[in-house]
Amino acid sequence: IISVVGIRELDIYSDQTNLYYFTEWEYNYFSTIQKENKVVSNITVILEWYNIESTLNFANEIITINPSTIKYTIMISKYPFTSKLNSLQLVMKAMVESSDTSSCSGQQFGNLEIENSDYLKLQIGNYSLKGRFIKKCIIDDGIIQTLSNTLLNSDDIKEMDIYQTKQDHQYLQSFIGINIGQFSNNVVVDPDFSVLVDSYKPSCNNNSNLSKTQIAGIVVGSVVLFIIIIISLALLV
């Protein structure tokens, strides 16, 4: 499960000044961010599914898209920052779930210098979900700006964690904050997620982190039609 769960406005000390979060996804073509029943911003999410390897260009970065990858293109427009020193944090959640409660699990978050991106990998048994977060965005219809990505802790996102887990299922989830600087008109970010099968299985001990050599996986091949879905998200205070 991959979802865009909310937006946090942060001050220069990384303290939260505003929070907008989603309680449900609405499948339409357009959406608004509302505050006190007034539209303050628009957000659009485009999903693209790739069943074959592809090469794309985003923010002057050449990106190789593996098979069985879903790419998110997320655009936020005309957000009214409360201070010129504030920034936005777009929060995404990635989760893997299994009905096999005996499987071990692990996760890792780190940097891929060769791709100028960060990665997140969640694994239960042989199956894993790998997210890639490019450290660039496009603001104001063409300006390339660097950004950072943060693995959030439970205190940061406790108001957003609304998923109800099943007692007979094992699950592993993480929240990633995509940290975006000031913009005037709009910003576009472009993360992607792949489904993998690994020959390595994580061990069932207290240290569930995966080593860097275990990040590489064999992509699961599947015959799925290419799709683009525009998802609208309503943000309410």
Q: Average of pLDDT values for 225-234?
A: 37
pLDDT exceeds cutoff 50 at 136: yes
pLDDT band, residue 129 (cuts 50/70/90): confident
pTM for the whole structure: 0.80
Alpha carbons 197 and 20: distance in angstroms, whole number: 35
Residue 157 parent element (H or E): helix 154-157
CA distances in angstroms from 100 to 124, 127, 170, 198, listed in the order given:
9, 12, 7, 17
Query: What pLDDT, in 10s, does the model give residues 51-94?
Result: 899 999 999 989 999 888 999 999 998 899 999 999 999 999 88
Query: What pLDDT, in 10s, does the model give residues 97-116?
Result: 777 666 777 888 989 877 78
Q: Where are the beta strands (DSSP E) in 78-169?
A: 87-98, 105-112, 117-124, 127-134, 136-139, 143-146, 148-151
Domain boundaries, the chain: 2-232
Q: What pLDDT, on the 0 to 100 scale, is given for residue 48?
A: 87
Q: Please provide the DSSP assignment of 56-72 as one string.
A: EEETTEEEEEPSSEEEE
Per the CB < 8 A criterion, the answer to whether 131 and 1 are in contact is: no
pLDDT band, residue 231 (cuts 50/70/90): very low
